[in-house]
Structure 1
């Protein structure tokens, strides 16, 4: 792994382990994140985004094995979607477990994506917990397509800004699919 990526992972981990919130490049857009098992950190993100905590956020995991630790039962169709997706795809699961309660939607679901991007994958691997990922904007504002478009309020509101990929232009957020324990599949966002 490149030295600067390694160093950024160490710096970011230090902040996450202390309950901090970060601004970081995900496999899709720039995101605001924290340890998904820390309810106080999750609450800080809702406040920073000026977002109602009834509006759930996405979590990132680095593997199917980690996914299985935070969802009561992963429905079989989800494995096919994860294996065969050629673009970042977030799946909404029933009955998440071992995450902050204020991350779980009112209908007892949670959106989780298995990331395949090197920085996120390694960061989550070393954190050994899912990472919250929500777009780096105030609720209702457009999602920034680049680091340069992120509002000063967001930049000032996080504890750490990952110093990687600042020139990257993001295409778009992930696809979102809901897969129920009853195996029903519903496309939420293409």
Structure 2
């Protein structure tokens, strides 16, 4: 079943479509993080201004290094010691959709601790957008059954895994500037 869900998701991602998928935190709306048109569809579905940044997922350090020009050493230390999901905002992203990059030239990236996400990212071999499965301004759903019809109908594929799981809270977010300054955005 896992293999089939990955295949189905890959087909949609490669065609520039949107998937609704379980992550290590909450259910997410995802797309190819290198495809501007796909990213635009996410902003439209969420009814969110494109000036508000989205998170993207990478499979591992190798993929992270490909999409962030200079990763501060502190990032690897933080990733090694954290026991809860953490998203880090990095300066100077590269090889990503321009509408995914914040106006201050930064990007929020997480390496998920989830088998489905890891395998999907490895097979796709590109970052995937991961933004909560809700319309902007509405609460983040804690489970699949709390996701609105509008979101369910607005994506091209809904992953058929972990639908009974009550999701954890969203990840913590920190901004890690190239000069070593750490700023907590969301605990």
What range is the shorter-chain TM-score in?
over 0.9
Cα deviation, 1:35-68, whole Å, max 9, x if unaligned, reads: 1000000000000000000000000001011100
Deviations 1:57-81 (A, max 9, x none): 0000010111000001110100011
Match for residue 179 of structure 1?
Answer: 176
Q: Which residue of 1 aligns with 2:160?
A: 163
Aligned with 1:73 (options 70, 73, 89): 70
Map 1:75-154 to 2 at 5 A.
75-154=72-151
Structure 2 regions of 5+ residues with no counterpart?
Answer: none
Aligned residues: 187
Distance 1:127 1:5 in 2: 15
TM-score, scaled relative to structure 1: 0.98
Give the gaps of 5 or more residues in structure 1: none
Report the TM-score, using the length of structure 2 for normalisation.
0.99
1:188 maps to 2:182: no
What secondary structure, in the 3-state scheme, does the structure 2 residue paired with 1:186 have? strand
* 1:29 equivalent in alignment to 2:26: yes
Q: Equivalent of 1:49, from 39, 46, 51?
A: 46
**Moved >2 Å (runs of 4+):** none
Structure 1 residue matching 2:184: 3-state secondary structure: strand
Where does residue 59 of structure 1 map in the other structure? 56
Q: Does the residue aligned with 1:36 lie in a helix, a strand or coil?
A: coil
| Rounded Cα–Cα distance in structure 2 between residues aligned with 1:181 and 1:78 | 10
1:38 aligns to 2:54 (yes or no):
no
Is contact 1:62-1:116 (8 Å) kept?
no
- Return the alpha-carbon distance in structure 2 between the equivalents of residues 17 and 172 of structure 1: 29
Deviation at 1:163, TM superposition (A): 0.4
SS of 1:28's equivalent?
A: coil
Write the distance in 1 (CA, Å) between the matches of 2:169 and 2:142: 7
